[in-house]
Structure 1
Amino acid sequence: MNKQLHTDYTVSEEIGRGRFGVVFRCHSAVTGECFALKSIDKRLIQHDADDGHCLRNEAKLLRLVSDHPNVIRVFDVYEDDDCVYIVLEYCGSSDLYQRITARSPFPEKEAHRVMVPLMDAIAHCHRRGVSHRDIKPDNILFNNLNHLKLADFGSAEYFHGGVPLSGVVGTPYYVAPEVVAGRDYNEKVDVWSAGVILYIMLAGAPPFYGDSAKDIFEAVLRANLRFPKSIFGLVSPEAKDLLRKMLCKDVHRRFSAEQVLSE
């Protein structure tokens, strides 16, 4: 592990694991303050050009957007021959996936309390020209003060000048139909993913589902949005209307993050 990193921080136990690396708890050698250390193994992505590009971009894009109170903060970045190490704000509470698993569906007011800071964070990223591209409950963290933090920019990409994004990234339940179809797309894929999260919070189940990734992708492509009365009977017409605008297959008609915030 990087020598300067070990001078600056004391690295302790593993607290998470992903496709390309491990997250550890660490503490500042000067102040003792607790941080999260994301270690990304270069060897695991060296044969994939898209993943390698995302690896090179992650720390840079995080620095561009992490001045927002609902985006995870980045403090230091280190690198050696084997890994990139990103020192991040530590969030000691549960993530949204754990909260949904524990007690969904959410009351509409509680879902609203999650969506406002989430969409504020997404809109901020879009204003800075960054699309997250993997919005899902696992990547929405809460700190010890219960403040929402959008995390894991490993699939994020910079967009500018109307140049479309490309590449199949994301997670089956949450990925937008234009991504599944293999078409070029724009930052509104993040709005679609957030719409799926809102639906799951209100319904306790995803809007598009199947027994396999293939079945899920086919359901996403059909984008047949339904509101069963047995589940949505107590959900307001306004919330259902917002879901229609976020989960709109026609990208031109789909709301932007700013439009969602203005509803």
Structure 2
Amino acid sequence: MNDETIIKPREHRRIGKYHVDGILGEGAMGVVYAGHDPDIDRQVAIKTVHKHLIDASGDGDWLERFAREARAAGRVLHPNLVTIFEYLQQDQVPYLVMERIRSTTLEDRLAAPDGLDLQEVLSIMAQILDGLACIHAAGIVHRDMKPANVMVTENGTVKLTDFGIARITAMDKTGAGMIGTPSYMAPEQFSGGDVDARADIYATGIVLYELLTGKKPFEGGGIEALLVAARSENVTAPSQIVPEIPSALDDVVLKAMNADAKDRFASAADMRDALVAALPTADGTASIRLSTSARPKRDQAKVGSNTMLSRMSSQTLTQVERHLIDKIGPMGRVIARRAAASATNNEELLDIILKELTQEDERHEMHASLLRLLAANVGPAPAGISDDNLHHLIALLKPLLGPISTVLVKRHAAKSTSIEDLVQALSDTLNDPAEKAGFLKAAQSDQRPHPDGKGI
């Protein structure tokens, strides 16, 4: 699917006064651009919504409501919130100009092979709750709290994003009036009625459960099954999955996840206090390592360890499903899952999917849109680019970009056809001319062995 919102690579364009330097990320709802404020020489992130979705809404008040929500969110300032600098419109498309930070998402952190110790869990959760307390005090409910909306900077600072405008731009719209991501939605959200800050408390409880155990408390079965599970009180306590977890921490998680809103923590501050009390840092519990062995293993009889289904993030797979559903109807989800379960690389995945389309122009458009989505996949690099190549490029970028380097290298590797293409694509992510030149020189002069016998 083509969209006029997308600014093509190397196309020189401005959004308002801001120079557009490239794309930081793209999803089913919109795009985040790397921008530059020429007035104060500051790097920014510019988030927008796809134009075709705005047009399809058929709602003349859409932009006005978006602006109102965005400006309310922009008035809230806190160290644990991504700061919104400006809201603007251009060609009837809304844009949010935000601080640009070097970070990974909490979703990426959860996908890392190493576990989390309790001290890191405490730090992340305390900052999440501090950020939520701030927006709740301003009368804003996030409505879409999940690991993908939690940014973690290289120094460990946590920043919440997409708060306040989720009611209009949430990535997952599960039905009329229902907004949020089903796995993190409180029972009252499924009805599409009004929600308050306690819905965010519930979602934060789910996030805490996932940080501790490496799994969600309720898995699969569709929205109806999730609702039934969320309303029940039969939740496996985290300590039953990871025995080292203190029982006091079980109490915090289960209280936050209570099906009845009135029995949850009354505020984010209350949950934070309970969490700190459950995780004393002076008696040795904070040094316990939550091993990746506590994380549930996939059923290898159903999912090969090297298939795309085992390597793609759930968010990427969901976006692929949406693209197919939009093009060929409800069978798109089945086709996407079947292709991901059998394909071992991006090209195989695309080949399987594109066979379902009969029109050449449709296949061309779908191929282009799916390639952009698959750039978010952080699985192994395609054939022709060795692990040594990736590790070396990550090492070169880390002093410049921090922990996000690992994600960037693997994302660009997923859509690069050669090591030369990958090096050039990565150099384009660097705005400082001196840093870019230094990176190119180091990468191109490297003589590490390459599968074809050549160096980088």
Q: Report the TM-score, using the length of structure 1 for normalisation.
A: 0.85
1:83-232 equivalence runs, <5 A: 83-103=93-113, 105-153=115-163, 154-156=165-167, 167-227=177-237, 231-232=241-242
Equivalent pair of 1:181/1:221 in contact (CA under 8 Å): no
Structure 1's 9 and 229: CA in aligned 2 closer, same or farther, altered over 3 A?
closer
Tell me if 1:45 matches 2:44: no
Taking the aligned partners of 2:240 and 2:230, their CA distance within structure 1 comes to: 22
Taking the aligned partners of 1:91 and 1:216, their CA distance within structure 2 comes to: 34
Aligned to 2:260: 250
Structure 1's 249 and 84: CA in aligned 2 closer, same or farther, altered over 3 A?
same
Structure 1's 248 and 48: CA in aligned 2 closer, same or farther, altered over 3 A?
farther
Equivalent pair of 1:41/1:84 in contact (CA under 8 Å): no
- Deviations along 1:193-227, one digit per CA (max 9) or x if unpaired, are 00000000000000111143443333223353212
- Deviations along 1:58-80, one digit per CA (max 9) or x if unpaired, are 42132132x11101001122102
Structure 1's 104 and 192: CA in aligned 2 closer, same or farther, altered over 3 A?
farther
Tell me if 1:261 matches 2:260: no
Taking the aligned partners of 1:230 and 1:257, their CA distance within structure 2 comes to: 25
Shift of 1:54: 5.9
- Deviations along 1:84-107, one digit per CA (max 9) or x if unpaired, are 111101122211000001146422
Ranges in structure 2 where 5+ consecutive residues have no aligned partner: 6-12, 169-175, 275-456
Taking the aligned partners of 1:259 and 1:230, their CA distance within structure 2 comes to: 25
Ranges in structure 1 where 5+ consecutive residues have no aligned partner: 158-165
Shift of 1:134: 0.3
Structure 1's 168 and 54: CA in aligned 2 closer, same or farther, altered over 3 A?
farther
Larger Cα Rg: Structure 1 or Structure 2?
A: 2
Tell me if 1:19 matches 2:28: yes
Match of 2:39 among 30, 40, 46: 30
Equivalent pair of 1:130/1:156 in contact (CA under 8 Å): no
Aligned to 2:67: 56
RMSD: 2.7
Q: Percent identity?
A: 30
Aligned residues: 253
- Deviations along 1:123-176, one digit per CA (max 9) or x if unpaired, are 11111111000000000012343311100133159xxxxxxxx93111011000
Taking the aligned partners of 1:81 and 1:31, their CA distance within structure 2 comes to: 25
Aligned to 1:234: 244
- Deviations along 1:204-258, one digit per CA (max 9) or x if unpaired, are 0001111434433332233532126552311011211101210111111110212
Equivalent pair of 1:131/1:187 in contact (CA under 8 Å): yes
Aligned to 1:162: none
Taking the aligned partners of 1:169 and 1:100, their CA distance within structure 2 comes to: 24
Query: Quick check: which one's strand share is greater?
Result: 1
Which structure has the higher relative contact order (CA within 8 Å, separation 6+)?
1
Letter of the 1:252 counterpart: K
